[in-house]
Structure 1
Amino acid sequence: MAGDLILITGVSGYIGFKTLILALETGFQVRAVIRKTEQATKLQSHARVASHINSLQWVNIPDLSETHSFDPYLDGVTGILHIASSLANETDDYDRDIINPAVKSTLSVLNAAHRAPSVKRVVITSSAVTLVPFTWMFGPAPPTPDLTLFTAADISLTTAAPYSSAMEAYFASKTLSRIATKEFMEREKPSFEFVNLLPTMVFGPDELATNVTELMTSSRGLILGSLMDVKMPKTVGATVHVDDVARAHIDGLKSEVPGNTDYILSAHAQHGVCWEDAKDFVRQNFLDAVEKGILKLEGTFGIRPWRLYTKDMEDAFGWNCVSFEETLKELVAQYLGFVEAGKV
């Protein structure tokens, strides 16, 4: 493990950069895939990367979906962490910009690994959104809570176009990539094993953020906005700390973790979170910021249950995901630090 050479995609992103840091600090030699050469300058100057620069190689692959794009870079690589993925950005062509890149890049990684005898494990960042239809997540809340216990064996079958939004296309891209992975493994029977990680909503501090604007993106913006005065739509309450997602990628390379398996990553998996309780938690831990009106606590974030079975993940990895409260505490602390320093 430590000392082995691994390849990581998506290192310029939220989960990918945290995983890069953890891989280097664990002692791996890393080939980090970037799409633009200038990204390396910013990433390698980060304090937690700079001290490990001798263990880091940069690989520039502009198009991850090209069939043989990874082949020149897998010599001696024992594990691949495929984290890069299309984002849910609005576009005039969901297939071109969201669906195809996600599926094709996953297959590109798998095929390249199949041609590289040194590769033993491929860990893929999938998503818990693959468990349910888009309408289940964002449609009207049922009159009575749906208390179905979803497991990693579940997978949505509603992936067909047309898509109503980039977010629905993103759901489909993750699901279709997961299906494509399973079909590839069954058809090709490669010598390596895969691990699919299915995180719920990922949030927590951002290692790359340098100000409030950069921090207030993606799920972090949803969480922080609702602690101010933003009214969020009702959605399901399932979250996971970004550190846990990064840790699961590294641990997923271990031979003692069963391979050819999917694992759900989520805190409070059986019960979800209550947003009013979250506000009480913020009052208790950041009372000064609340009294000053920095955290107005006038927003809403309606949450309904999403019951998830994570015991198989906890047994395989030997740890539980950090609580929602602790994750929230770390995120709010980073936000307040930027505010107090005037980094807005």
Structure 2
Amino acid sequence: MAGDLILITGVSGYIGFKTLILALEAGFQVRAVIRKAEQAKKLESHIRVAPYVAQLQWSIIPDLSDTNSFDSHLKGVVGILHLASPLANETDDYDRDIIAPAIKVTLAVLSAAQRTPSIKRVVITSSAVTLVPFTWMFGPAPPTPDLTLFTSADIDSKPAKPYSSAMEAYFASKTLSRITTKQFMEKERPNFEFVNLLPTVVFGPDELATNVTELMTSSRAMVLGMLMDMTMPEMIGASVHVDDVAKAHIDGLKPSVPGNKDYILSSDAPEGICWDDAKRVVQKNFPGAVEKGVLKLEGRMRTRTWRLDTRETREAFGWGHVSFEETVKELVRQYLGFIEAEKK
């Protein structure tokens, strides 16, 4: 595997950049897809990437959804890691700006791979949110926890319109892209295999963040906010370290991992985690930050039980996961490091 040429989309994003780093460190030749040429300089100058620039090529594709956008960039490529996806940004047209692009880009990647004989496998970032309806996750809490053990065979086959928010549309885009992938594979029967990865709430340190403001986004903002004094919305009790998600993309290229399958990525399964336990982790490991009020531990984020079966993932990938406790510790260390740097 080391030395093989692979193509990665979404390298400027949180998970995508970590995947790029681990792929280079594993010895792959990487063709990294970016939309704008100026992104290359920032990414290749990063301390984790700079030693490997000889292994790195850049492919500039302004419109990933164009049917033929990938064809000229796949010569010699044996595997594709497809992480790029529209974000949950508010818009006046969810179908145009979130749903359609997600499906079109997925189809563009799969179609180009079908036209490229050298490609053996396509690994796609899907999401565990595809397993359940949006209302199951964010609707009124049931009187008693739903103790269903969800597996990778589950899917919300018909996301309900109209979408109430960009987040609901984003969840639908992941589900519809997952359905599109399976339909494509069943209809076209290409020579390559696919692997769909279904991560839960992804958090941990951010390799691209250079200050507190950049770190405090997305899931990291929820966790850190709760560790200060913010009351956050209820969140499902399932998480996974960003490193585990990135590593799963690379390991998903291995022939030893059964292809044409979906794999749930979640730590501490099947019972999941309780978000308030993060306070205990901080109290135990960072008492000085608590005493000084840097981490007040006065916030809250209620947990909705989500039981997930990850046995197939553990068997196929042959490695464990970073625990919720370790993930919290690593994120807090990075946060406190930025706090100290800002004081100087």
Q: CA separation in 2, counterparts of 1:62 and 1:134?
A: 31
Q: Secondary structure at the match of 1:301?
A: strand
Q: Match for 2:321: what amino acid?
A: C
Match of 2:91 in 1: 91
Name stretches of at least 5 consecutive residues in structure 2 with no aligned partner.
none
Offset at residue 160 of structure 1 (A):
3.6
Q: Match for 2:120: what amino acid?
A: K
Q: CA separation in 2, counterparts of 1:130 and 1:47?
A: 35
Q: Is the 8 Å Cα contact of residues 196 and 262 (structure 2) preserved in structure 1?
A: yes
Match of 2:7 in 1: 7
Q: CA separation in 2, counterparts of 1:30 and 1:275?
A: 36
Q: Secondary structure at the match of 2:234?
A: strand
Match of 1:158 in 2: 158
What is the percentage of aligned positions where both structures have the same residue? 75
Q: Match for 1:221: what amino acid?
A: A
Q: CA separation in 1, counterparts of 2:303 and 2:271?
A: 11
Instruction: Report 1:101-116 matches (<5 A).
Output: 101-116=101-116
Q: CA separation in 1, counterparts of 2:274 and 2:101?
A: 36
Q: Which moved more, 1:127-136 or 1:274-283?
A: 274-283
Offset at residue 276 of structure 1 (A):
3.1
Offset at residue 236 of structure 1 (A):
1.0
Name stretches of at least 5 consecutive residues in structure 1 with no aligned partner.
none
Q: CA separation in 1, counterparts of 2:21 and 2:274?
A: 32
Match of 2:288 in 1: 288
Q: CA separation in 2, counterparts of 1:280 and 1:330?
A: 15
Match of 2:303 in 1: 303
Q: Could you tell me the TM-score, scaled by structure 1's length?
A: 0.99
Q: Is the 8 Å Cα contact of residues 33 and 59 (structure 1) preserved in structure 2?
A: yes
State yes or no: 1:210 paired with 2:210. yes
Q: CA separation in 2, counterparts of 1:169 and 1:199?
A: 18
Instruction: Report 1:167-186 matches (<5 A).
Output: 167-186=167-186
Match of 2:21 in 1: 21
Offset at residue 304 of structure 1 (A):
1.8
Q: Is the 8 Å Cα contact of residues 276 and 302 (structure 2) preserved in structure 1?
A: no
Q: Match for 2:150: what amino acid?
A: F
Q: Match for 1:89: what amino acid?
A: N
Instruction: Report 1:42-57 matches (<5 A).
Output: 42-57=42-57
Q: Is the 8 Å Cα contact of residues 281 and 328 (structure 2) preserved in structure 1?
A: no
| Total equivalences in the alignment | 344
Q: Match for 1:289: what amino acid?
A: A
State yes or no: 1:242 paired with 2:277. no
Q: CA separation in 2, counterparts of 1:273 and 1:263?
A: 19
Q: Is the 8 Å Cα contact of residues 78 and 121 (structure 1) preserved in structure 2?
A: yes
Q: Is the 8 Å Cα contact of residues 5 and 76 (structure 2) preserved in structure 1?
A: yes
Cα root mean square deviation, aligned: 1.0
Offset at residue 79 of structure 1 (A):
0.2
Q: Match for 1:24: what amino acid?
A: L
Q: CA separation in 2, counterparts of 1:43 and 1:319?
A: 29
Q: Is the 8 Å Cα contact of residues 74 and 116 (structure 1) preserved in structure 2?
A: yes
Offset at residue 271 of structure 1 (A):
1.3
Offset at residue 158 of structure 1 (A):
3.4
Offset at residue 320 of structure 1 (A):
1.7
Q: CA separation in 2, counterparts of 1:89 and 1:332?
A: 27
Q: Match for 2:279: what amino acid?
A: K
Q: Secondary structure at the match of 1:124?
A: strand
Q: Could you tell me the TM-score, scaled by structure 2's length?
A: 0.99
Q: Secondary structure at the match of 1:66?
A: coil
Offset at residue 343 of structure 1 (A):
7.2
Q: CA separation in 2, counterparts of 1:51 and 1:277?
A: 38
State yes or no: 1:59 paired with 2:98. no
Q: CA separation in 2, counterparts of 1:278 and 1:204?
A: 12
Q: Match for 1:250: what amino acid?
A: I
Match of 1:82 in 2: 82
Q: Is the 8 Å Cα contact of residues 211 and 343 (structure 1) preserved in structure 2?
A: no
Q: Is the 8 Å Cα contact of residues 212 and 343 (structure 1) preserved in structure 2?
A: no
Q: 1:78-136: per-residue Cα shift (whole Å, max 9, x none)?
A: 00000000111100110111001101000000000000000000000000000000000
Q: Is the 8 Å Cα contact of residues 269 and 306 (structure 1) preserved in structure 2?
A: no
Q: Secondary structure at the match of 1:52?
A: helix
Q: 1:158-204: per-residue Cα shift (whole Å, max 9, x none)?
A: 31421000000001000000000000000000000000000000000
Q: Match for 1:57: what amino acid?
A: Q
Q: 1:183-233: per-residue Cα shift (whole Å, max 9, x none)?
A: 000000000000000000000000000000000001000100010011011
Q: Is the 8 Å Cα contact of residues 210 and 343 (structure 1) preserved in structure 2?
A: no
Offset at residue 277 of structure 1 (A):
2.4
State yes or no: 1:222 paired with 2:222. yes
Q: In structure 2, do the counterparts of structure 1 residues 343 and 265 end up closer, same or farther at CA, with 3 Å as the change threshold?
A: farther
Q: Secondary structure at the match of 1:194?
A: strand
